[in-house]
Amino acid sequence: MSGKDRPSGQPQQTQDAPGGVQDSAFLRACRRETVPHTPVWFMRQAGRSLPEYRKLREGIAMLDSCMRPDLVAEITLQPVRRHGVDAAIYFSDIVVPLKAIGVDLDIKPGVGPVVEKPIRTRADLERLRPLDPEDVGYVTEAVGILTRELGSTPLIGFAGAPFTLASYLVEGGPSKNHEHTKALMYGDPELWAELLDRLAGITATFLQVQIEAGASAVQLFDSWAGALAPEDYRASVLPASAKVFDAVASYGVPRIHFGVGTGELLGLLGEAGPEVVGADWRVPVDEAARRVGPGKAVQGNLDPAVLFAPREAVERQAARILESARGLEGHIFNLGHGVLPDTDPQALTDLVSYVHEQSAR
């Protein structure tokens, strides 16, 4: 990002000087440069595993909390203070931009996003108008607060990828088999392509808003893409995700592409255009890097359930990942999916220290 695009009030030196954001271990690893230690952050590091989060959220609905810049900033900062992670992830949800354009959805505790009237016909598509940056002014405000508060710690912006968003919209809620989604994808390829194209536009704008407000990197979550065979992902999903990555390429911030159960799709996730590909625990990091191909960093990949085991067992599994990543250019330590709500927060803090100590160079 050029100097003139920086939000006023954001000190330049925390951006570019040695010891500033651009020199952070996380951004250096994204760019496949040498690092003082392997950077680590956790998907879903903010949220229900933290007692301070649960306290702050008491009596406030999830989507309401996402629209309050003061709350968003505080919740985003909580895991950074507690765990000493190398990056913050903006507190929001993948369905926030859909809510912002007026889709009748809610996040039901213990269930996930639920859509009152699923989107399944051409007429339904009309409910997906483009996102105007002004629809999410609270995001601009919260990111502005955060980039000032975070100092030299990078902020990761994020959005849901078109396929994963489509799954919630078409199914009407969380789904194990994605049957309505796949029926539409195979049954009406033209309508499907239009649906994904609209979602790509909304997602691209949502990421642009976060980057323009000061986010240092972005992650596209295609959490449910692993439900697809490679040839179907390539034909029916990749073009829309590539459109999102293209739309934010010119900002020059690292772009991360992540999905669950995507061992067979890792090469295609890379083809969509990001600098970094996230892998879950089903594929070792070195093998993931081989599948992603040269020139890209890899993020991952401790099974979040391992954190329920005793500390020594967690450390053995973390050591295995660091060993597998030895010799790779660009490794960011993370879980293979989000932090589970019942995780002991101390296990996360201990894991951050362990990764930092073991990888110090």
Q: Is 44 a catalytic residue?
A: yes
3-state SS record for 194-230: HHHHHHHHHHHHHHHHHHHHCCCEEEEECCCHHHCCH
Identify the residue among 7, 20, 47, 118 touching ligand CP3 (CB under 6 A). Answer: 47
Q: Of 6, 23, 31, 48, which one is the catalytic site residue?
A: 48
Residue 278 annotated as binding site:
no
List CB contacts of 59: < 8 A, sequence separation 6 or more: none
The residue range among 104-112, 187-195, 242-250, 305-313 that interacts with ligand CP3, by the rule CB under 6 A, is 104-112
User: Strand (E) positions, 12-115?
Assistant: 88-89, 105-108, 112-115
Size of the site for ligand CP3 (CB under 6 A): 24
Asked whether residue 251 is marked as a ligand-binding residue, the answer is no
43 binding ligand CP3? (CB under 6 A): yes
On whether 358 is known to bind a ligand per the annotation, the reply is no
| Least spacing, CB of residue 304 vs ligand CP3, in Å | 10
Which SS3 state, helix, strand or coil, does residue 111 take? coil
Q: Are strands 297-302 and 276-278 parallel, antiparallel or unpaired?
A: parallel
Part in contact with ligand CP3 (CB under 6 A); list of ranges 9-17, 22-30, 88-96, 130-138: 88-96
178 appears as a binding residue in the annotation: no
Angle (nearest 5°) at CA 19 between 145 and 294: 95
Asked if residue 121 lies in contact with residue 183, where contact means CB atoms within 8 angstroms, the answer is: no
Q: Which two tokens stand for residue 100?
A: 């912002």
Examine the residue annotation and report whether 186 is marked as an active-site residue of this protein: no
| Cβ(314)–Cβ(40) below 8 Å | no
Residue 59 in the binding site for ligand CP3 (CB under 6 A): no
* Segment interacting with ligand CP3, rule: CB under 6 A, options 43-51, 234-242, 291-299, 314-322: 43-51
163 binds ligand CP3 (CB under 6 A): no
- What is the binding site for ligand CP3 (CB under 6 A)? 43-48, 57, 62, 89, 91, 93-94, 107, 109-113, 158, 164, 174, 221, 223, 338
Give the catalytic positions in this structure.
Answer: 44, 48, 57, 93, 168
